[in-house]
Amino acid sequence: TYITDFQGSFQVEIGRNHARYFDKHGWRYFTREVFDLLYPSYGDTYPIFNGAIGMTYEQGGHSRAGRAIIMENGDTLTLADRVQHHMTTALSTVEVASREADRLTKAFADYFAKAQQNPPGRWKTFVVKADNPPAKLARLTALLDRHRIRYGTASAKKKLQGYDYATGTEREVVVEPGDLVVSAWQPKGILTQVLFEPEPELVDSLTYDITAWALPYAHGLRALALEQKVEARPGFEVPAAPRHTLDHTYAWLVPWHSLESAQVLAALLRHDIRVRFAEKAFTIDGRRWDAGTLAIMRADNEDNGRLEALVAEVAARFPTTEVVPVASGMVEEGSDFGSATWHLVRKPRIALVGGEGTWANAFGHAWYVFEQDLEYPVTVIEAEDLGRIDLNEYNLIVLPDGFYRLGDKELQTLQQWLYRGGRLIALGRANDAFAGKGGFGLQRADEQQDEQDKEARRTARFEDRIRDAVSESIPGAVYRLHLDNSHPLGFGMPEYYFSLKTTDSRYKMLDKGWNVGYIGDDPQTVGFVGWRLRQKMQNTLVCGVEDKGRGAVIYLIDNPLFRAFWEQGKLLFSNAVFFAGQ
């Protein structure tokens, strides 16, 4: 839908020119296999959705081949050969582009003009509700600005038929004055549609990367997709948090609803300011505050002579998150500030595990979130040292996605540390290290069903082998989870969470622990899920907390930090870092 006929035909034209040179030299090659044009973050799709001609050129060998590799036919492929092949395709590309420069530039201009006049695709207007947290709206508009996507503000109330991202249903929806409107009737209209596409259509299920990515899911935003144009005035002003002053401040309150809330908390902790969080909702000064609300109380910080100045400094850094002073610790509804339901945040001393077993990309994602998003310090330790070093220097260990070989010694050391009050966050495949192990409650699901499937495959036809494997695959799809947002791991979110699932890992619900996020009987999904796997995913754990003595293990089966772009996943992860198991 979003790739023009010209783009497709010009790819073929360039490919034929490459083939002419490869045929001349007798080099083997293939085209139109393996690589798809779906996920907009590829090095070929992103240029395509910005009007260019994107293509993937890959040469067997890559980083593991060294200077030479022996091929299956006994010949040797050298680094020099690979360079020559790439040089040939590069010069061939320049040759065709130069020869067809007029056609290319005209098609490039037409791409944006046609999008502005008549955008393709069904959904042409995307409405993000104005009552979303301002910090989330600011993060979204900053992303749109980077991509030069225009947006506006709805000027009138209107009832229309549309798609509700939160429920995955088409129904009558209401656009309110002040809502953020992103229209596909603009030069970057196609990129807009791609980034907001609620239900991507797969031409072929043989894809190898994620198949759902819509910004409302990734950013945790209440949003609508519409077929019609919505009148909007240009631009959108994210409401700045009001700045409050009070002669006598008993405490300062910070709402917990976005990554920016976590950034505020991280900044306060870096200044050695003691902070509490509310286990339950409460009302004070006529305003309701949700569970997870932060409180900086004078009573907890009497030894800090710069408290007011530091709080003001932190508040100024984050203009879309409120820091609200209150004059009393007595509330109108809920628990007063001296109640045991106001928990002190233990300042995390974090060990981030790297090295053998850790998937390097996943380590980078986690490190990036700590260093760039939260700006919170971590110490990097090697996985193989878990059984040798003094873990008492840390009260939180983060295991990034990976395949860890934790022996009895390492597991025993971790358990002892957990019982003394340590907390461990396992991300993605790192959870396999604890599944079925003594002392841990995590168990794999449906092993009997897997055996039955193996039996069925023994009589499968050879020609169906790839399609059969696809029926068990999930390259990357979005699942709507049931979420217990009364648990600290679910604070700041609604009673659902859109989880990006990139593996077929399945675990049973915890018998002893908290099943905070899980897949139900008939979940809403977006993207490709193999039909066999879809059935097996029902009633499985995705986010769980198992208490261990004074500590806890937080199981996050779907890595919420995958590529560090799932913004709502960063909030979930922040809950795990600062709240869960405290």
Q: Over the stretch 115-126, which tens digit does the pLDDT of each residue have?
A: 999 999 999 999
What residue type is 473 in one-letter code? S
Of residues 33 and 11, the one with the higher pLDDT is 11
State the average pLDDT over residues 158-182: 98
pLDDT in tens, 499-519: 999 999 999 999 999 999 999
- Is a pLDDT exceeding 70 seen at residue 561? yes
Mean pLDDT, the chain, integer: 94
pLDDT at 447: 63
Asked which of 64-68, 304-308, 536-540 is least confident by mean pLDDT, the reply is: 64-68
DSSP structure class, residue 26: T
Where in the chain is CATH 3.40.50.880? Answer: 350-578
DSSP string of 131-173, one letter each residue: TS-HHHHHHHHHHHHHTT---EEE-S-EEEEEEETTTTEEEEE
The predicted model scores a pTM of 0.94
State the average pLDDT over residues 37-49: 91
Element (H, E) at 350: strand 350-354
pLDDT in tens, 284-301: 999 999 999 999 999 999
Alpha carbons within 13 angstroms on the beta-carbon side of residue 212 total 23
State the average pLDDT over residues 66-91: 91
Cβ 367 vs Cβ 304: under 8 Å: no
pLDDT at 457: 62
State the average pLDDT over residues 222-249: 92
- Is a pLDDT exceeding 90 seen at residue 97? yes
pLDDT at 459: 64
pLDDT band at 472 (very low <50, low <70, confident <90, very high): confident
CATH topology of domain 350-578: Rossmann fold (3.40.50)
DSSP string of 353-370, one letter each residue: EESTTB-HHHHHHHHHII
- How far apart CA 158 and CA 171 sit, in angstroms, is 14
Cβ 520 vs Cβ 539: under 8 Å: yes
- How far apart CA 444 and CA 435 sit, in angstroms, is 6
pLDDT band at 246 (very low <50, low <70, confident <90, very high): confident
Using only C-alpha atoms, what is the Rg of the chain? 26
Cβ 424 vs Cβ 576: under 8 Å: no
Cβ-count burial 355-374 (b if 16+ within 10 Å, e if not): bebbbeebbbbbbebbeebb
Reading the block at residue 237, the tokens are 């002003």
pLDDT band at 555 (very low <50, low <70, confident <90, very high): very high
- Is a pLDDT exceeding 90 seen at residue 328? yes
- Tokens 């066999």 identify what position? 532
* Torsion sign (Cα): 486, 490, 491, 495: negative
